[in-house]
Chain A
Amino acid sequence: MKLLTCPLNGQRNITEFTYGGEYHPMPDHQQATSREWAEHVFFHDNSAGVVIEWWCHSASSYWFLAERNTISDQILRTFPADEIFRERIDFNPTPADQGERK
């Protein structure tokens, strides 16, 4: 049994968790081109080595981040998302959205 330490629930069997993809900063939603969105959504670093990625504790729906080595399969560190996300992000409508509404 492989264990993963959830920042909220402590050490649990890894089968209780769902892998949620690589952590990538989101592109500027007002400026990003459709090409940049495609890269953000579909493309992955898929690095062989230490990566930062999203995980979710399925039973409690708690999302957090983990540092994991993708060669040795060692989980080096897990931490709550507020280490990275410290400010509220407002999704202001783009000029194009406002145009549609009129």
Chain B
Amino acid sequence: MPFGLLKYGLSSEYPGEHHFNPTTELKKHYDVVIIGAGGHGTGIAYHLAKYHGITNVAVLEKNYLGSGNTARNTAVIRSNYLTEEGVTFYRESVKLWQDLSNEFNYNVMMESRGQLTLAHSDAAIRSFRWRAEVNQHMGVRSELIDRQQIAEMVPNLNMSEDSRFPIMGGLWHADGATARHDAVAWGYAKGACERGVELHQLTEVQDIEVTSGRVTAVKTNRGRIECGCVVQAVAGASSVVAKMAGIPLPIHSYPLQAMVTQPYKPILTPHVSSPHLHVYTHQTSRGEFVIGGGSDPYPLYNTRATLDQRESLTAAALELFPFFAQARMLRQWAGTTDMTPDYSPIMGLSPVENYYLDAGWGTWGFKATPICGKTMAELVATKKVPDIIKPFELERFYKYQQINEAGATAASH
């Protein structure tokens, strides 16, 4: 084995493994057209091909594979939500995450280092107690911990009682994790392409043809394709794409900004989040601190970074970890989050019969990737809405049955 590696290293030819099919001409017809090749889109394609034998599938991507929010999210995986529907859904997702690398034989560098959410007020302690009870009842590892436990768990955290918002307690979620986000899209796309799915990058959907309540074809910059059904998984662009099919959505697109420091030696184990200070951070496996997530104060289809957000994120991060004062920032970036009024996703059927929605992923899309791929593929293959995603249907807004997910990161509460 070492000789093989040495030979490979000295070779002038790198027999790189081709993960995806080379770009071919678009076919005239596909049974399933998936718009958007992020984790969700490729996950749906993977599950369709592997578990439902549906391989005449095209995944269309305007840019390149995993170039949208799959590459821009801060890679947080957790299931300590507040609503029964939310906890059930994300709990199943975390289970799938834990075996994801084996599932498609591609290392997503899953690390279950836990998540600590900080309370800086009595009200937060009360709501954490509530969340812990709901979580434990539903089989999610989640508990309220006190200041001493926090100090032992995160020795670098500023536990001073003289800070502006002293830490009063925390919600400890042992199931919290992180993973390499790009690898998720790559692993799913590889597994899907090996089974016959076609990935078409630089293929932008420009129009969607709907005749008497059914999608018949999709027009792209590379030609028109007829399709049996369409799934849209386009995150920030959800409203724009759905509008082509004549479907209004209860979504506003807001940029969410994050940034990352220079690498440090490993000094922080869990993910630390403070809803009160609007900041969260964790140390990546290569040592950088990812600091998120500041939502812009008004909707925008633009991924520019602003000084305002850098200032507010930095101020909050400094309050938690004073050593950040010495840190250099490597990058700051944004992703367009498709926010729903109730902080829950919109999944499943749409007013157009064979058009399926995978939208409204706001700040909670990455952690839902595996369960979303599984359940949306099941819906496409069987035409039956799986129970676990039934509550997230678009129709809930017309029935005034929103799922108020106050456990969402960006929830303004």
Report the separation of the CA atoms of residues A46 and B402 in the bound assembly, to the nearest whole angstrom: 19
Task: Say yes or no: is A73 at the interface (Cβ < 8 Å to chain B).
Answer: yes
Task: Say yes or no: is A45 at the interface (Cβ < 8 Å to chain B).
Answer: yes
Report the separation of the CA atoms of residues A15 and B307 in the bound assembly, to the nearest whole angstrom: 12
Contact A19 B302, beta carbon cutoff 8 Å: no
Contact B301 A38, beta carbon cutoff 8 Å: no
Contact A44 B239, beta carbon cutoff 8 Å: yes
Task: Say yes or no: is A86 at the interface (Cβ < 8 Å to chain B).
Answer: no
Chain A residues near B248 (CB-CB < 8 A): 39, 43-45
What residues make up the interface of A, taking CB atoms closer than 8 Å to B? 2, 15, 18-19, 34-35, 38-39, 42-48, 70-73
**How far, in Å, is B106 (CB) from chain A's closest CB?**
34
Contact A48 B240, beta carbon cutoff 8 Å: yes
Chain B residues near A47 (CB-CB < 8 A): 239-240
Chain A residues near B398 (CB-CB < 8 A): 34-35, 38-39
Chain A residues near B400 (CB-CB < 8 A): 34, 38
Task: Say yes or no: is B341 at the interface (Cβ < 8 Å to chain A).
Answer: yes
Known: A15-B308, A38-B397, A71-B302. A44 touches B297 (CB 8 A): no
A sample of 27 inter-chain contacts (CB < 8 A) reads: A15-B308, A19-B297, A19-B299, A38-B397, A39-B398, A42-B341, A42-B397, A42-B402, A43-B397, A44-B249, A44-B250, A44-B251, A44-B252, A45-B239, A45-B248, A46-B240, A46-B251, A46-B253, A48-B240, A48-B253, A70-B253, A70-B300, A70-B302, A71-B301, A71-B302, A72-B302, A73-B300
Task: Give the tally of cross-chain contacts (CB within 8 A).
Answer: 57
Closest to B255 in A: A73
Known: A42-B250, A46-B239, A46-B253. A73 touches B397 (CB 8 A): no
**How far, in Å, is B380 (CB) from chain A's closest CB?**
25
Interface membership of chain B positions 298-311, coded 1 if the CB is closer than 8 angstroms to chain A and 0 otherwise: 11111010101000
Report the separation of the CA atoms of residues A43 and B210 in the bound assembly, to the nearest whole angstrom: 21
- Centre residue among A18, A72, A73 by max chain B CB count within 10 A: A73
**How far, in Å, is A5 (CB) from chain B's closest CB?**
15
Known: A38-B397, A38-B400, A73-B304. A46 touches B249 (CB 8 A): yes
Further contacts, 4 of them, CB under 8 A, given A47-B240, A70-B301: A42-B341, A44-B248, A44-B250, A70-B302
Chain A residues near B297 (CB-CB < 8 A): 15, 18-19
Contact B250 A48, beta carbon cutoff 8 Å: no
Chain A residues near B239 (CB-CB < 8 A): 44-47
**How far, in Å, is A88 (CB) from chain B's closest CB?**
30
Contact A73 B299, beta carbon cutoff 8 Å: no
For the complex of A and B, 4 pairs with smallest distance between CB atoms: A46-B239, A19-B298, A42-B250, A48-B301
**How far, in Å, is B350 (CB) from chain A's closest CB?**
13
Of residues 221 through 272 on chain B, the ones whose CB sits less than 8 Å from some CB of chain A are: 237, 239-240, 248-253
Known: A35-B398, A46-B249, A46-B252. A70 touches B308 (CB 8 A): no
Of residues 277 through 298 on chain B, the ones whose CB sits less than 8 Å from some CB of chain A are: 297-298
Choose one: A43, A70, A73; the contact of B250 (CB below 8 Å). Answer: A43
Report the separation of the CA atoms of residues A5 and B240 in the bound assembly, to the nearest whole angstrom: 29
**How far, in Å, is B151 (CB) from chain A's closest CB?**
35
Chain B residues near A19 (CB-CB < 8 A): 297-299
Chain B residues near A15 (CB-CB < 8 A): 297, 308
Choose one: B237, B249, B251, B299; the contact of A70 (CB below 8 Å). Answer: B299
Chain A residues near B299 (CB-CB < 8 A): 19, 46, 70
Report the separation of the CA atoms of residues A34 and B297 in the bound assembly, to the nearest whole angstrom: 30
Report the separation of the CA atoms of residues A35 and B399 in the bound assembly, to the nearest whole angstrom: 8
**How far, in Å, is B248 (CB) from chain A's closest CB?**
5
Chain B residues near A46 (CB-CB < 8 A): 239-240, 249, 251-253, 299
